[in-house]
Every structure is written in C-alpha cells, then in structure tokens.
Chain A
Amino acid sequence: MLSQHALHQNRRSFLSRTSLGIGSVALASMLGRGHIATAADDALAQGVVKLLHHPARVKRVVHLCMAGGPSHLETLDEKPKLTEMNGQPMPKEFTDGQQIAQLQGQKLNCFAPQFPFESFGESGQRICNQFPHLGTVADDLCIIRSMHTDQINHDPAHTLFNTGSSQAGRPSMGSWLLYGLGQECHDLPGYVVLTSVGKGGQSQPIAARQWHSGFLPSRFQGVQFQASGAPVMYLNRPDGVTMEQQQQLVQTVNHLNRQFDSVVDDPEITTRIQQYEMAFRMQMSVPGLMDMSSETKETFDMYGTQGGDGTFASNCLLARRLLERDVRFVQLYHRGWDHHGGIKNSMEITAKEVDKATAAFIQDLKRTGLYDDTLLVWGGEFGRTPMAQGSGRDHHIKGFSLFLSGGAVKGGLAYGNTDELGYNATENPVHVRDFHATLLHLFGIDHHKLSYRFQGLDQRLTGVEQAHVISEILS
C-alpha cells in the first residue's frame, strides 16, 4: 500500500501539472474509435495479486447458473438401477437421518429417470437424450458427477455456491476474482450478470447477494444487465439530453472537481474524475455491445435467437460479446429448474431452452478463439432426489452433477460418480469449495493465499475447511 500510495502521489502530481488538459483530451479521445485506456489510468484495473502464484490457464469465466437445481438424473447422471426400482420404497439406509426439504414426513419412493441416456461423441459421454445439441460437443464437456453441497434450500445453497458460505455478507466468486486480478476492460464492468426465466415451472427468485462483493470493496460487485429498460441501471441519459451534452456535463464536472482539488488536495477527487470518465465510456460502449447487427445469420441460427429478447439463448450470445470485450466474469442465470412436480414435461421445456444455445456457445467460443482461455461452468446449486415428489423431484444435496468446458479442462471426461441410485457422491466427491479452489487455481491463484481481513479473520473464498484443487480434470 505504501508503494501504491506513492504511485498514487505521482499520478496525482502528473495530473495536477496538466490540470486542465488531460481530462478533456482523454474524454475527447474516447469519442474516437479504438481508444484504449491504459491500465495506469484506471483505478479499477489493479488487483491485489501482483505476481500470480502459478501460471494461469484461463482469463475469463462464464457461469451458466441453472437456478432451482437441475435434476442430475435427467441431465448428466444415468441410473438404470433407479429405473428398476421405480415405485419401490427408497432403501432406508440412504435416507435415514438425512436432510429432507419438501418431502418432510412423506413416503420416500424411487422415481425412475424420465428419459433414456445416449452415448455422444468419440468419448461416448452418456448424456440424457433431451440434450442432443450438447451431445454434439460432448467431447468438449468435462462432466463432474460427484458434486455435493451443504444447504438444502435455494437461497442459502445459491449463496454457498456463489460465495463459499451460506451466511450473507460474503463476496461472490466473481468479486474475489476482480479483487485478486483486477479487470481488463475499460469501458465495461469486469463482472456482469444476466438473467432469464424459463417456461417450465416456477421462476427461482435470485438475490442480488449472489453477485455482491460482501465485505470486499463494492467496486468488485457484479453489475446486473437488465432485460428491460437500460441494460445497465442509470445508463440512459435523461430525456432531452444528447450524448454531446452529457459529455460536456461530465467534462465540466471533472474540470471543476480538478480545480477544487487544487484547493483541498483530496486524492479521492482524482479517483472520482476517473470514475466519471469510466461512466461515460460505459454510456458510449454499451449501445455498441447491445447492437447485434454485426452478428451473422449463421450465428443467430446456431444459437436459436435473434438476440435482444432476454431469453437464455440471447443472453448466451450477449455473454460471448462480453467475453470478447474482456469482461472477466459473466454469470448467466436461467431461473427455471425447480422441478418439484411434472419433471418430465418441465425438463422437456427447460432442456430445449438451454441445450441448443449452450452447445452453440461452446462452438462460438472456439470460432472466436476464446475457447482456450475461457472456462465455462454449467450447473445449479444442488441436484434432485432419486425419490418421487409426486411426478417431480425434491431438492437434493448429497450428489449432483455439473459440467465444465474450455481449453483448461479435459473434454470428453466424466469425473466422479454417485451410487447406483444417484443419492450419494461416492467416487471422488467434489464439494463446492473444491470447485472454488479449482476455479481460482485455473486463474493462477492459490486459494489459500487470496484473503481479505474482515472481523479479525483472513477470510477466503474457500473458507476454513480443507479444499482441494481437482487436478485430475485439468488438461
């Protein structure tokens, strides 16, 4: 901090030497094409990890968060034995003394998987037949079938998956990454959140806590892009104000602030000037980001969207554009996976909403050269019971599945397994915190070493329990 402070002082004196000039020059150049602010200009760019703990394999993440808890038994985890036992009581040795959500006090009977699985790709990955497009990229999927978590209700389970703790007030993984590594884009937030609802079943409520920076400085918060109105809140200018006027206004504010700085000598003023410049850059760049006219018909067809309609598919396309612009962490929620009843019908609907677009996304990452250093994560906060809840399944935390994709993980691999009824993660269990350790590892960060002092503790994303990097899945 001392050296950072010294740096700050230098930057300050540099700015004060050119007191009237630099801001307007910088702003003017922003209106031109191809302006790239340098890292030194930008307070946001700095991360605390100055020297990576080991070489990084990925630069950015896209987390396709399947909110509500997708059934592993109708997606990625094939259980023929459960089909055999359909309608029979679930053996008590599985369920005695275990947590139960909505099935509290009810009969626990086995419920057969509702769809057959098929082999896909050269690797022969077994995937539910409702995901034929994912099948076409099966050799790029690294499936983990042995996830487990601690929280059986949506809100705390989401919070645990995103922040490593079920307690509110902890930073989300995207915030940890920005805190550690800073951000690379200079006209967009480093951490963007997109959401979409589905047509199958009830929509999960999602708290802004899921992308909050918790006790970390709030500049590391995720910024939610809205499906309606201005994509970024408060991005639209007031009615009756042109972009040029807005620019004059920002220039005037910065000019007067700079002048005032010469009176009070307040380093916060320099930061504020930079933030107004950043805000203005965002106002300039977001319309271009959202303008899909440069996309080809082939791309639209591949994703199955025309873009801009707030669907999961259109969010995938937008996510690719964000990643291209060096946004470090994009989180994309699909809120339609809570299939307590009518899972067969709901799964058919929800699978269609995500299957094609997810596969397209992976292919598009390859096409645009982003695949190698992007990590794609697909999964929910927990899985669903092997037991029936009417014609659906209840929340389940002892075993569930997700998949990863990208150059840094082994495609065509299925790692870990649950028991023959899909209840417990038995082979190579992976706790959520192991996933977090692995995520940080891929960015060149040792999860033990990225910490922040809060309430007397050096807090970490992976918490105080042992967490392990799953090295077997890394390519």
Chain B
Amino acid sequence: MLRFQLFCFTLMNVCLFSDAVQAELEFNRDIRPILSNKCFACHGPDANKREADLRLDQAASATQVRGEYQVVFPGDAEQSELVSRILSHDSDEQMPPPEFNKPLTVEEISLLKQWIVEGAKWQDHWSFSPLTRPELTGLETQVSNHSSIDTAILAELKKRGMDQLEVADPRTLLRRLSFDITGLPPTPEDVRAFELDHSQTSYETAVDQLLQSPHFGERMAIYWLDLVRYADTLGYHGDQERSVSPYRDYVINAFNKNMPFDQFTIENLAGDLLPEPTLDQKVASTYNRLNRASGEGGVQPKEYLAKYVSDRVRTTGAVWLGTTIGCAECHDHKFDPFTTKDFYSFGAFFADVKEQGIVSGANYIEQMPVPTPEQSQQEATLKDKLASLQNQYDARSPELEAAYVEWQSAGLKSGGLWEVITPVSATGDSGTTLTILEDKAVLASGTNPDRETYQVKFQTMAQQIAAVRIEILPDSSLPNNGPGRAGNGNLVVNAIGMTSGDQTATWKTAVASHSQDGFEAKQLAENNSQGWALLPETGKAHQLILVAKEPLQLAELEQGSLHSFQLTIQQNHGSNHTIGKFRVHIATEPLEANEALASTEMVELLKLGAGERSAEQEQQLFNMFRASTPLLKNIREELALIKKQLTDLQQSVLTTLVTVSTTPREMRVLPRGDWMNDTGEIVQPAVPTFLSQSDPAMSNAERRNRLDLAKWLVARENPLVARTFVNRLWMLFFGQGLSRSVDDLGSQGEWPTHPELIDWLAVEFIENGWNVKHMIKLIVMSHTYRLSSTPTAQLQKRDPYNYFYGRQSRWRLDAEMVRDNALSISDLLVTQVGGKSARPYQPAGYWDQLNFPKRTYQHDTNQNQYRRGLYTHWQRTFLHPSMLAFDAPSREECTAQRERSNTPLQALVLLNDPTYVEAARVFAEHIVQQATAPEDRLNWAYQKAMQRNANDEELAVLSGLLEQQVAYYTSNPEEANKLAASGLAPSANADTIEVAAWTGIARVILNLKETITRY
C-alpha cells in the first residue's frame, strides 16, 4: 500500500508543496519534478534521444538564443517558447506531444509560468550538490530535550500551522523502540519497569541497552541483506544452493561492533584488496559474489558475464549511490546525467572478479572455509595432536626393527600359500555388470542397486580349498575411488558362501586388514548379518581372509582333472554398499588367517629381496609393516580417531564465496546493451563523470580498482552515499524516508520533505566517523520519534500520510519479525546469533517446480527450527511462502523498500502455518502453567504478547470463546490430542483438553493486528 501512496503522492506533490507556504518557487522542489517527469525523456541528459538539441535540465541550453526565440526567457513568460508550446492545442506544436501520454496539469502549467516570471532560476539537483551542514533554524525558542531533528521538524510544522501530538505512552514507546532496534518485543518486566520510571534518563538507558544488544546487528542485517540481495541460492533456472552465510554473520557482527560505515563499505567492495586482509575482510568481499548466477546448460558464458557485471553496477549504484545508474545500460540515463559510458566504466571496476559465466555442478569458484574462532582453536589443537602422534608413529626402535624382520619372513611364507585365480564368470543378481579384467580382478559397473549378491564361478586344478583371500581394490571409476560403490566408497559384505557341487564350506575364522567399528570381519564366520565394512579406510586396498573349518572338497568336472567351485557374496546393507572391485586367491592347505594377511603387492616387494628394492620400495614396505603390526595398534587407532575428528571439524566449517582478484577482463561499452556487439569503445574503471570532482584519486594514472571505487564512495566529497544512508536509516525509524523514494535520489526521485534535515544528518554522519549507532541514537532520542502514532481527526485531515511528522508512523512488522515475535511470545525462539541458514516448516510440494537436481525440502528437526526469520534459507526462485506472504523480497535484485501489504494469504499464514500453530500450542501450555483463574491467565497472555493486561471487553470475548473451546474439546478429546500435539517442541502438559482449548485463545492473540504492529 505504501508504494501506492507514493505513486499518488507525486500527483499531490505540487499542491502540497506550493500550499501558499512559500511565496517564491524553488527549482528543485517545484519545477524539476515536472520537467523531469514530463520533459527530460526528450529534452534531458540522454544525448541519443534528445530532440531539438534542447536540454531543460541545464539553464544554458534552455535559455540559449535560437534565432528569433528563446525556449525560456527568464522573467518573461510571453517571450518564452516553452510557455506557448505547453499552452498550444495544435497537436504539431503542443508539448509534451499528445502521443507521449503525459499531459501537463493546469497546476503544473501555472507553476512553470510563475517560475519563468520569477526569473527562471535553475539549481543543480539537490542530491548531486556538494554536501554542507545547513543551519537548522526557524524556531525562536528551543525546548529542552529537543534535538536538531526536532528543530527542523517543528519549524516545518509551524510554517504549516500544525502541531505535534503528545509523546506515546511508555508501553507503546518501549515496544516501538525494541522492535525498531532489535526486531524483538520487550519483556513485560521491562515494560513495567519503564512504566514506573519513564524519565529522560531511563529512556536513554533503554536506548543504550538495546543498541548494545546482539540482536541489534540482526535487525540491521535484515535490511542490509535486502539491499545487497543476499540469498542462499543462485537465482537462475535450477536455482542451486551456494554457501555464503558467513557474509550474513559478518554483517551482523559489523553492525554490532558499530563498525564505521566507511570501513564497512571498503570491506564489502574491496576487503580482498586490503593489505594482508583478515578473514573477516575476505568474507566481507562476498558482497561482490551475491549476484544471481546461472548453472543452466546452454548458457553463453560471455552473455552471462555481461549480466553479472551489470547486476553489480545496478546493485552498487542502488546500495550506495541511491540512484538508478542501472538504467544507463542500454542508453544514456533519461533523467540523471549518467552516460552509457559511465555505466560500463563503473562495471570495469568489477572486471577483476574471478568467476565463470556458467556455474557448473557444485564447483563454485573461490569457496573459502570460514571457521569460527572456536573451530580455528579446535583445528589447531587437533593438528598439534596429529603431529605428535605422527612423530611417535614414525619413530623406529630396536623392538620395532626386530618385529619388522619377523614380519617379513612370515609375509614371504604366506605369499607362497596363495594362488590367484581367474573367475570363469561373475554376475550380479540385481543387475550389476561385473567385468573380469586382465589382472584377474573383477570390476563392478553399470546398474548400482541398493542391495546385490554376486555369483562368481571358478575352475581350478586344485582338489580342495582350505581358505580364500579376497582382495578389495580401489578404482578411479568408483565413487570416492571405492573400493565400495556407496557414495562415500564404503561397502558392507554380509555373507560369503563357498560351494562346490553339493558341498558347502563353513568358516572357522574371518579376518581383514581393517574393519569398521561395529562391522568386524569376524562376523562373517559367526553368521552375524551386520556385515563387514571399511569406514573410514575407504579409497585403499584391503584384504579379507576366510578359513574353512574343513577344506572344501571340490567337485570334479567331466573333462577330468579340472574342478569347479562358486563364491556367493551377499551385500544386503542397502544404499549401494556393494564391492566395486575385487580379486580372489585360494589356499589349498590349512593356514592361520592372521599370518596370511600379506597383500599381493607386499609379497611382490618381499620377493625382490632387500638389495633389489629401491629406497622408495623399502619405505613402502616399512609403511605396510607399520600399518599392520600389533606393536603400533594403539597409535594407529588414535591417529585414525584424530584424523576423523579433524575431517569432521573441517567439514562442519561453513564456506563462503569470496572475491578473488584476477587479470581484469576487457570491458567495452555494449551498444544498446547488446553483449554480442564488440564494436563499442574499450573502457577503463572510472566513476561517473559528473560525480568525478569528488574523486580524490582521479589523477592517479594507474588502472583503478575496487578499493579506489570504495574510497571514492566514502570520500567526504561524495554527495550521495551519506544522504542515501541517512535517508534509509530515517525510514527504519519513521516508516518512510525524508525523500520517500529511498531507492532513487535522482531527478525522478521525490523532493525531500525536509531537505535541510537530510543534509544535516548526512554531514553529522560523516563528521562523526560514519558512526551508525550514533545516528540511530540521535534519531530515537528526538522528541519527534517518541510521539504517539494515533492521529487526531484534524491531523488525519491535514497530513493523512504523515509527511510532516505531527505524529509517529505505524506499520505492520517485517516478515522476519512477525515470525520472531510469535516465537518470542511462545518462548520457542532460539536467540543464538549467526550460523548457517535454517529451514522452518514449509508446505510439502512447494519445491516441486525445482529441477537440476530435483529437491525435497527437509525442515530442521533440532533447535534450528526456532531460529530468527533472518536465518531462513533464502531460495530465490521459491522463497519460503510465509516470508513471501509478508512481503519479504526474493532478493534477486536490490530492494531498498519493502512493500507492506495486507492480504488474505497473510491471514492464512497466521491461522494455519504450522509455525504459528505450534507457537500457539506452546504459548497455551505456558499460559495454563502460569496462572489458574481464566482472567489471570488471559492477563498473563496479554502481558506476554502485548505487555498489557486485557481490557474488560477482551476478557469477556475471550472467556466466551474459551468456554466454547473447552466444551468442544471435552466432548472430542481425540481432537484435543491432535491439536495439543502440534509441532516438534516437546509438550509440557498432559491435560490435552486444556492445552487445546487455550491453543485456540493463543491463536487469536497471535493473529491480532496489535500483536504484529509497531505503533
């Protein structure tokens, strides 16, 4: 609705500001909006579309003598061609031309005439003019507690003969302050204390405390993330995920630490270019990677690289300059003096960002781990431990040397026991393709069933088999190099049968070179179905040896001396835990399994003899020994444990896409924005020409970079950045900017209601070291901020949209805060600051339209379910539906001002979204726990939600509803059970009828307008 009001406001602009308050017209306030909206498109900055070589944005062009006439003749309307043209009814003469569909109104014509009569004075556009601190005057007497803000506001009100309302009541004020600064409601206790003492001092204390709250940074981040279009997914086509959440934490922390905004700016745009950047500064540079990106097959990389650059120009222009420089991508800007060359020169600042046109697979360029300080500490500790264990493991001792000699001779002996054997056939019952390779190994490929049984048949000259050895081998064709076919390279063997004719072997022992905890090889000889598995030792070769109780006598084939037997390898674990590659050996004479665990490779090395082995082979052999000797068993196990802990830790560390600077790509002006057109001029990084006087480094001959850009933005001379920022800050605390077009301070933007105040605030901001908390404190300590928001009938009539601040504004909470408020009321809210994105309940099937890959949403089932709204996983093409319903933007583009709509879908969310039903159920449990009498309970609930007692009517209405609820659930206890079981949160109350009945009351309270409104 706000947008709509803004739109209409432009129509009212003229009458509001002319209002007979000021006698003399002012170009920027009264005339520029008319010319800009109705004339500049053909007579403005865009050189290509300019008609009659006339610029009405510049005095020189408009007043130039053109043969027998002047378009504007200062002081004389009669002699001004402009006037006769706008009065003409001849369609060839008339301006604006009728087909332009933007006729001037009677008021506008009269203003233009009056302005010419008054001497036709031009002014530079206000927001592009140098920034100086104006005197805020107009009031004879200063009232105590009044700040400069109040002086400016009251002076304007006085001119218009309007007054300010009283200050809001303490409860409303503290609620307002708390929502505005932290996004969360105050506690009933805080409100009660403030009601008892709401002096200036205690108000200031409350302000200071709230500004010190860690939730302040979260509240500011909600807005900042809209501006920089932070999201967790790419945004085009498949809309795949990418991890950038450390950037969100950086923003929260920066606001909490009150990082000066100039430093924040520099770190966002160029943190990576700072000398020896800290981890945080690199994380800040994620800003440059937040653009939408595509992983769609068939993307033309050059086209998308051009899209990414213009996305950055558009966004950076909107975030810091508060202007629509993005409009100059295809043509010179129609209203502001941005040229197309300016656009591409600005883009050239980002030409060094290392990236790809098409994001393929999960290979996002420059993904950087961002450990928390605790994680860094843990990592260092683990690495220390690892190093010390490794030293122990590497140390050689006489005892070890002796064992090594013994191990070698045993190995040589065991090597002679085995004979490798080629299968005659190998098949999988569930369709796996088994290929017999030249080296006698068997490789699995093709169909990868969950479960599988291999049938492997052999023929041999041997007459009996006493033991089999199965080498399990890695292979590059297998997931994670194998040796299993599960995604992590693991496998589970549940049983191995060996048969020949009608004979079946029974196993005496089964040993392996390594067994996963709980999946011991010995189980294969014990008929235990758990099976044998390999974690964490995947990716390498293993041995499994099975020794029969009695040697299996082999059946003779008809041909004579050949005998046959078969191995059946059952793998029932599921999830593709099957063997990827293996090789079979047999032993005909009984042996001790433990002594026979020599691998083929080891036996080959041993056979070479000490003199023939190279140093490398010698080391290899010694490594094999250390990997198996019982002497080092403890250290080996400890090493494996620490390594696993380290891997787990490293995998739990969040990553972000940082900016990495590389050789800049060539940047050209793209004629009409056409990326295929290579005829445009090559451009170097440069700031917009008409703003370059504020560029301290203009003379620098070196190629400019993002650091130069950032420094130019926050130079004292830059007129736009501070104005843009304070205007938006004002909006966060008054619901609208001083110039209400917070996304456009250019020519088509709105003339500020209080131009001196916006400049005063901007200078104050810069001169106080870009101190954000200082500015917020200044605003909320003003008398104007504290006013009641309930208009009198007279005020409503004079200033229905509160342009002049005779009162405070009031608005429905932002999407995230609607959620936070409900979770806070029910005490479900997890107040942890920062961390990865959370997944609240979401309707099933909402992600059905996603593909590449298809995805199924899984809501969090732990504490992450109850995190603040700003941590919600932000899926650009399918934003969480309850966020979307309350006007959270998709963050595909910069959003400087959210819509504040009021829709039936919002009602459905608050009524039926499981988040709110669960919050109501838990709230109900707390209500019944806190008091006994219905009236006390209702008052407690109202205190919790609105920090006040319920009034008589509320008590009466809700008591009536309660009776109906109790009656229904008493006769339908199974329905009560259902409602009382809402959500994942554990239940604290077994009386489900009472909980269900009060859940109804709690749902009413969470749905009230007062609950979700900041008054």
Contacts A154-B237, A223-B905, A228-B845: A99 and B912 contacting too (C-beta < 8 A)?
Answer: no
Contacts A234-B911, A271-B902: A205 and B844 contacting too (C-beta < 8 A)?
Answer: no
Task: Decide if B982 touches A253 in the complex (CB within 8 Å).
Answer: no
Give the interface segment out of A119-127, A274-282, A291-299: A274-282
Find the A residue at minimum CB distance from B894.
A169
Task: Decide if B901 touches A456 in the complex (CB within 8 Å).
Answer: no
Residues of A near B953 (CB, < 8 A) are: 259
Contacts A240-B977, A248-B964: A455 and B744 contacting too (C-beta < 8 A)?
Answer: yes
Task: Decide if B101 touches A240 in the complex (CB within 8 Å).
Answer: no
Query: Which residues, 215 to 272 on A, are CB-close (under 8 Å) to B?
Result: 215-219, 223, 226-230, 232-242, 245-246, 248-250, 252-253, 255-257, 259-260, 263-266, 268-269, 271-272
CA–CA, A456 and B844, complex, Å: 40
Task: Decide if A246 touches B911 in the complex (CB within 8 Å).
Answer: yes
Residues of B near A172 (CB, < 8 A) are: none
A211 to chain B, nearest CB (A): 11
Task: Decide if B1008 touches A275 in the complex (CB within 8 Å).
Answer: no
Residues of B near A101 (CB, < 8 A) are: 298-300
Q: B359 contacts the other chain (Cβ, under 8 Å)?
A: no
Contact with A along B839-851 (1 / 0, CB 8 A): 0000111101111
Most B C-beta atoms less than 10 A away, residue of A100, A156, A209, A241? A241
Q: B1009 contacts the other chain (Cβ, under 8 Å)?
A: yes
Q: B957 contacts the other chain (Cβ, under 8 Å)?
A: yes
Contact of A230 among B294, B843, B964, B996 (CB under 8 A): B843
Task: Decide if A202 touches B851 in the complex (CB within 8 Å).
Answer: yes
B670 to chain A, nearest CB (A): 14
Q: A102 contacts the other chain (Cβ, under 8 Å)?
A: yes
Task: Decide if B843 touches A279 in the complex (CB within 8 Å).
Answer: no
Contact of B1015 among A167, A216, A264 (CB under 8 A): A264
A37 to chain B, nearest CB (A): 12
Contacts A205-B877, A218-B901: A256 and B1008 contacting too (C-beta < 8 A)?
Answer: yes
Task: Decide if A238 touches B746 in the complex (CB within 8 Å).
Answer: no
Task: Decide if A218 touches B1015 in the complex (CB within 8 Å).
Answer: no
Contact of B800 among A5, A203, A205, A253 (CB under 8 A): A5
Task: Decide if A234 touches B902 in the complex (CB within 8 Å).
Answer: no
Q: A51 contacts the other chain (Cβ, under 8 Å)?
A: no
Give the interface segment out of A74-82, A406-414, A445-453: A445-453
Give the interface segment out of B260-268, B649-657, B864-872, B882-890: B882-890
Q: B238 contacts the other chain (Cβ, under 8 Å)?
A: yes
A177 to chain B, nearest CB (A): 17
Contacts A217-B901, A248-B961: A456 and B744 contacting too (C-beta < 8 A)?
Answer: yes
Task: Decide if A203 touches B982 in the complex (CB within 8 Å).
Answer: no
Q: A52 contacts the other chain (Cβ, under 8 Å)?
A: no
CA–CA, A217 and B902, complex, Å: 9
Contacts A256-B957, A266-B1009: A249 and B1003 contacting too (C-beta < 8 A)?
Answer: yes
Give the interface segment out of B3-11, B153-161, B245-253, B544-552: B3-11
Task: Decide if A234 touches B977 in the complex (CB within 8 Å).
Answer: no
Q: B17 contacts the other chain (Cβ, under 8 Å)?
A: no
Q: A25 contacts the other chain (Cβ, under 8 Å)?
A: no
CA–CA, A66 and B1004, complex, Å: 44
Find the A residue at minimum CB distance from B793.
A265
Residues of B near A264 (CB, < 8 A) are: 789-790, 810, 1010, 1015
Q: A311 contacts the other chain (Cβ, under 8 Å)?
A: no
Task: Decide if B296 touches A217 in the complex (CB within 8 Å).
Answer: no
A82 to chain B, nearest CB (A): 22
Task: Decide if A205 touches B954 in the complex (CB within 8 Å).
Answer: no
Residues of B near A43 (CB, < 8 A) are: 902
Task: Decide if A219 touches B298 in the complex (CB within 8 Å).
Answer: no
Find the B residue at minimum CB distance from A1.
B8
Q: B990 contacts the other chain (Cβ, under 8 Å)?
A: no
Total A-B contacts with CB atoms under 8 angstroms apart? 261
Contact of A208 among B890, B979, B1008 (CB under 8 A): B890
Residues of A near B887 (CB, < 8 A) are: 218
Q: A457 contacts the other chain (Cβ, under 8 Å)?
A: yes
Task: Decide if B877 touches A207 in the complex (CB within 8 Å).
Answer: yes
Most A C-beta atoms less than 10 A away, residue of B789, B848, B882? B848
CA–CA, A265 and B843, complex, Å: 36
Q: B599 contacts the other chain (Cβ, under 8 Å)?
A: no
Find the B residue at minimum CB distance from A151.
B303
Q: A168 contacts the other chain (Cβ, under 8 Å)?
A: yes
Q: A368 contacts the other chain (Cβ, under 8 Å)?
A: no
Task: Decide if A208 touches B877 in the complex (CB within 8 Å).
Answer: yes
Q: B749 contacts the other chain (Cβ, under 8 Å)?
A: yes
Residues of A near B11 (CB, < 8 A) are: 1
Q: A64 contacts the other chain (Cβ, under 8 Å)?
A: no
Contact of B296 among A155, A215, A234 (CB under 8 A): A155
Task: Decide if A238 touches B912 in the complex (CB within 8 Å).
Answer: yes
B973 to chain A, nearest CB (A): 10
Task: Decide if B294 touches A153 in the complex (CB within 8 Å).
Answer: yes
Residues of A near B796 (CB, < 8 A) are: 265
Query: Which residues, 915 to 941 on B, are CB-close (under 8 Å) to A?
Result: 917
A227 to chain B, nearest CB (A): 6
Task: Decide if A282 touches B297 in the complex (CB within 8 Å).
Answer: no
CA–CA, A229 and B848, complex, Å: 12
Q: B958 contacts the other chain (Cβ, under 8 Å)?
A: yes
Find the A residue at minimum CB distance from B745.
A456
Contact with A along B942-969 (1 / 0, CB 8 A): 0000000000011001100100110010
Task: Decide if B239 touches A207 in the complex (CB within 8 Å).
Answer: yes
CA–CA, A233 and B741, complex, Å: 33
Q: A45 contacts the other chain (Cβ, under 8 Å)?
A: no
Query: Which residues, 715 to 743 on B, are CB-close (under 8 Å) to A?
Result: 741, 743
Q: B235 contacts the other chain (Cβ, under 8 Å)?
A: yes
Residues of A near B975 (CB, < 8 A) are: 240-242
Residues of B near A455 (CB, < 8 A) are: 324, 327, 741, 743-744, 748
Contact with A along B521-554 (1 / 0, CB 8 A): 0000000000000000000000000000000000
Contacts A167-B893, A256-B1004, A265-B790: A217 and B979 contacting too (C-beta < 8 A)?
Answer: no
Q: A326 contacts the other chain (Cβ, under 8 Å)?
A: no
Task: Decide if B954 touches A256 in the complex (CB within 8 Å).
Answer: yes
Contacts A168-B893, A205-B850, A453-B6: A154 and B296 contacting too (C-beta < 8 A)?
Answer: yes
A253 to chain B, nearest CB (A): 5
Q: A152 contacts the other chain (Cβ, under 8 Å)?
A: yes
Find the B residue at minimum CB distance from A449.
B101
Most B C-beta atoms less than 10 A away, residue of A2, A155, A169, A205? A205
Contacts A264-B790, A264-B1015: A394 and B892 contacting too (C-beta < 8 A)?
Answer: no
Task: Decide if A205 touches B852 in the complex (CB within 8 Å).
Answer: yes
Q: B485 contacts the other chain (Cβ, under 8 Å)?
A: no
Q: Using a CB–CB distance below 8 Å, which chain A residues touch chain B? A: 1-2, 5, 43-44, 97, 99-102, 104, 152-156, 167-169, 189, 195, 197, 202-209, 212, 215-219, 223, 226-230, 232-242, 245-246, 248-250, 252-253, 255-257, 259-260, 263-266, 268-269, 271-272, 275-276, 278-280, 282-283, 335, 394-395, 448-449, 452-458
Interchain Cβ contacts under 8 Å between A and B, 24 examples:
A152-B298, A153-B298, A189-B904, A205-B877, A212-B890, A215-B3, A217-B4, A219-B903, A226-B843, A237-B911, A240-B976, A240-B979, A240-B996, A249-B1000, A256-B1008, A260-B1008, A260-B1010, A264-B1010, A275-B902, A275-B904, A275-B906, A455-B741, A455-B744, A456-B748
New contact pairs (17) apart from A239-B981, A256-B958, CB-CB < 8 Å? A1-B11, A168-B890, A208-B884, A228-B845, A233-B846, A239-B979, A241-B1000, A242-B968, A249-B961, A252-B961, A256-B1004, A265-B791, A272-B902, A455-B744, A455-B748, A456-B324, A457-B748
Q: Using a CB–CB distance below 8 Å, which chain B residues touch chain A? A: 1, 3-8, 10-12, 101-102, 235-239, 292, 294, 296-300, 303, 324, 327, 334-335, 676, 741, 743-744, 746-749, 789-791, 796, 800, 810, 812, 843-846, 848-852, 854, 876-879, 881-882, 884-885, 887, 890, 892-893, 899, 901-909, 911-914, 917, 953-954, 957-958, 961, 964-965, 968, 975-982, 996, 1000, 1003-1004, 1007-1010, 1013, 1015
What 5 pairs between A and B have smallest CB-CB spacing? A456-B748, A240-B979, A207-B877, A1-B8, A240-B978
